Chains A and B, each alone.
Chain A
Amino acid sequence: MDRVTFLGRQLKNPLVLASGILGNNAGILERVHKAGCGLVTMKSIGPGPRDGHNNPTVIDLGFGMINAVGLPTPGHDHMDAEWQALSGRTFPLNASIYGGSVEEFVQVARFVSEQGPEFIEINISCPNSDRHGMLFGVDEKAAFAVTDAVKRVIAVPLIAKLTPAAPDIGKIARACEDAGADAICAINTAGPGMVIDIEARMPVLAFKKGGLSGPMIKPVAVRCVYDIYRAVSIPIIGLGGVTTGEDAVEMFMAGATLVGMGSAVRYRGIEVFDQVNRELADWLTDHHVTRDEIIGAAHDRRHTP
C-alpha cells in the first residue's frame, strides 16, 4: 500500500474524499475508506440545523456536475449519535466546517475539535449560500481573520479549503498560511454557473446558480494548485475534476501532496478510489518514479524527460 504521512498523520494512500460527497454518516465514510480512500472528509458542518435548498440541487451535465445543495447540516451540536459512532472509527477523519461569521466558525470549530477528528477543514469557499463561506475565500484579510481565529481554538491541524473564484488564489493561500493554516485544499466548485431549461424558461437549479465540478473544471483546478504551490510552503490537497490515475499525476505535478475526488464517484462509483490508486501505481512504475519525485514536477525544468 502506498502509505503517506500528512501533517504528522499516517494515511494509507494519498487519495482524499472531497467534502460534500457522500460523507453524511460514519457508515458511508468507513465504506469509502475501505474502498481505497486514504482520508475521508465529512460533509460541511455548520451551526445549523439548516435544510439547504429545495430540489433540483444536483444535476449531472455529463462532463461534470452543477450543484447548489445549500450547505444542509444537522448543526454541530445536534449530531451526538454521529459523533458517538465516529468516536470508535478505524480511519482518519477530516471534518469540514463552515459558518456565516468568524464567530460562528470559531463556535463550530471549538466544538468539532473536541470530537477528535484528525483534521479540521474550514470551508471558506462554498458558492451556494448567500451568507456563508465564499466571502472569506475571495478576500485576503477575511481569509486571514477566519483562519487565525479558528487556529487558536482547535487542537488538530487546520486545512483551508479555497475557491477558484478568488482573483488571485495564491494570495489567499498565502494569507491562510500566514494565519497558521497547516495545509490548503483546492479547489471547491467553480463558477458559480447556471443551466437554463429552455422549455421551462427557468434555471434548472432551485437556487438558480450552482457550483461546477467534475472533468469540466480540471484545468481550472490544476492552474489553482499550480499557483498555490508557488505561493506557499505548506502541503496542498489538490482536487477538482480528478477521475483517473493520470489526472492524479497531473495534480501531483501541479504541486499537490494529496489528491481529492468527489464527482468522480458519479462517473466511476465508490470503487474509483481503488481504481485510481492502481492506475497511479501503474503510472509511477511505468515511469520509474516515486510519487514524491513528481510532486511539483511541472514547476521544475529539471524534471522534463
Chain B
Amino acid sequence: MIAEHTPLMIEMAEKTVHNSVYTTLFFDFAIDFRPGQFVMLWLPGVDEKPYSLSYHSPTRFGITIEAKGRFSRRAVALAPGGLMGIRGPFGNGFDIVSSPHTAVVAGGCGMAPLAPLVTKLHPDLCFIHGARTKEFILFPDRFDMTRHISTDDGSLGHKGLVTDLLAAEIQYRRVQNQPQFDMVYACGPEMMMHAVFTLCESHRIPCQVSLERYMRCGFGVCGACVCGDRVVCTDGPVFDSKQLRNMADFNRTALLKSGGAVPLSDYVSWRCQ
C-alpha cells in the first residue's frame, strides 16, 4: 500500500508524452488522495522530489512532469515497467466549494495539480489557463468545458496574462449583475498566484493557491519548506486568502537547500537549473 512511510516501489504502467515539454507517468495503483495533495517521487540513486497528482481514479493515478532538471529528465526517460518509489500523499489539498460560481486559474505546469480538482468542481466553472507559449499549455484537450487561454507570446488565445482574463470575468459578472465568484483556485508561478490573490482581494473574492518550496520530509518536521511561520508540506501546500494575508514570505522569500532565505526570484532561478 502506498503510505506516508517508507517509499513503495511500484511499476510505472504507461507513459504519455504530451509534447516536448510535458510527460505524464501513470501507475495502476490505488492511492487515497484529495486534489491538491502531493507525493514524494523517488528515483533510486538520483533523488526524491514532491509532485502533485494530475490524474486520479480508484485504480490509477498519474504524475505530470515538466522535464527541465536532473531529476525530471531522468524521470521522463524511464520506460514503462520501470520502478519508482512513492510515499504519500502529503499536504492538505484544496477545499472544494460546490457552488457553480468558481474559477480555476492555471499557469503553465500549475495545470497539473488543478486538473483533478476541475473534475470535482461544478461544471459551470470559469476555466482560465495561461502559459509562456502554446507548447506550454498542458492538457489542451482534456476537458469539455470552455477554457479561456492566454499566452505570453500570443501563440494561443489572448496575448497577455491570466489575470487579464480573470479581471475581465470578474468585471463582466459585476456589470451584468451576475453572481460573483464564490471561490477562485490558482496554481502556477508564485508571482502569478500573488497577482490572482491581489485581484481577488480587491474584489473581496476568496481564493486558494498552491505553493511550492524545496522539501525534504514532506510531513512537517524538517522545516525546509517553511514560508514565514507556515509549513508548506503540512499546513499547505494549499493556502486560502485568510492565511495568505498573514504570510509575509508569500511572493517574496523562499529557502534554498542550505536553508538560506533568498528573494523569490533567486529561488526560482535555482529551481529552474
Contacts and interface: CB of A to CB of B under 8 A. Distances in A.
Interface of A: 20-25, 27-28, 30-31, 43, 48-52, 54-62, 65, 67, 69, 72-75, 78-79, 81-82, 195, 197, 199-200, 202, 204, 206, 262-263, 265-266, 269-270
B224 A24 contact: yes
A28 B220 CA distance: 11
B248 interface: yes
B217 interface: yes
B231 A28 contact: yes
B258 A74 contact: yes
B81 to A, nearest CB: 13
Interface stretch (B43-51, B55-63, B190-198): B43-51
Contact of A62 (B5, B220, B230, B234): B5
Contact of A28 (B9, B40, B223, B260): B223
B9 A200 contact: yes
Given A72-B259, A74-B260, A74-B261, A28 B229 contact: yes
Given A22-B231, A48-B258, A204-B7, A65 B226 contact: no
B257 A265 contact: no
A48 B256 CA distance: 13
Interface in B223-269: 223-224, 226, 228-231, 234, 248-249, 255-261
Interface string B205-228: 000000000001111111110101
A2 to B, nearest CB: 24
Given A24-B255, A49-B258, A265-B221, 7 more contacts: A55-B48, A58-B222, A69-B216, A79-B260, A197-B85, A200-B44, A263-B221
B83 interface: yes
B261 A22 contact: no
A58 B216 contact: yes
A27 B248 contact: yes
A82 B261 contact: yes
B248 A24 contact: no
> Interface residues of B: mostly helix, strand, loop or mixed?
loop
Given A21-B222, A24-B226, A199-B83, A58 B217 contact: yes
B20 interface: no
B219 A22 contact: no
Which 8 pairs show the lowest CB-CB distances between chains A and B? A74-B260, A27-B229, A199-B9, A55-B48, A58-B217, A24-B223, A200-B44, A31-B229
B65 to A, nearest CB: 16
B216 A197 contact: no
Contacts of B7: 56, 59, 197, 204
A203 to B, nearest CB: 9
B216 A57 contact: yes
Nearest to B3: A62
Contact of B5 (A60, A72, A75, A206): A60
Given A28-B229, A57-B217, A57-B222, A73 B258 contact: yes
B177 interface: no
A285 B149 CA distance: 64
Contacts of A199: 9, 83
Given A24-B226, A57-B216, A200-B85, A266 B221 contact: yes
Contacts of B259: 24, 43, 72-74
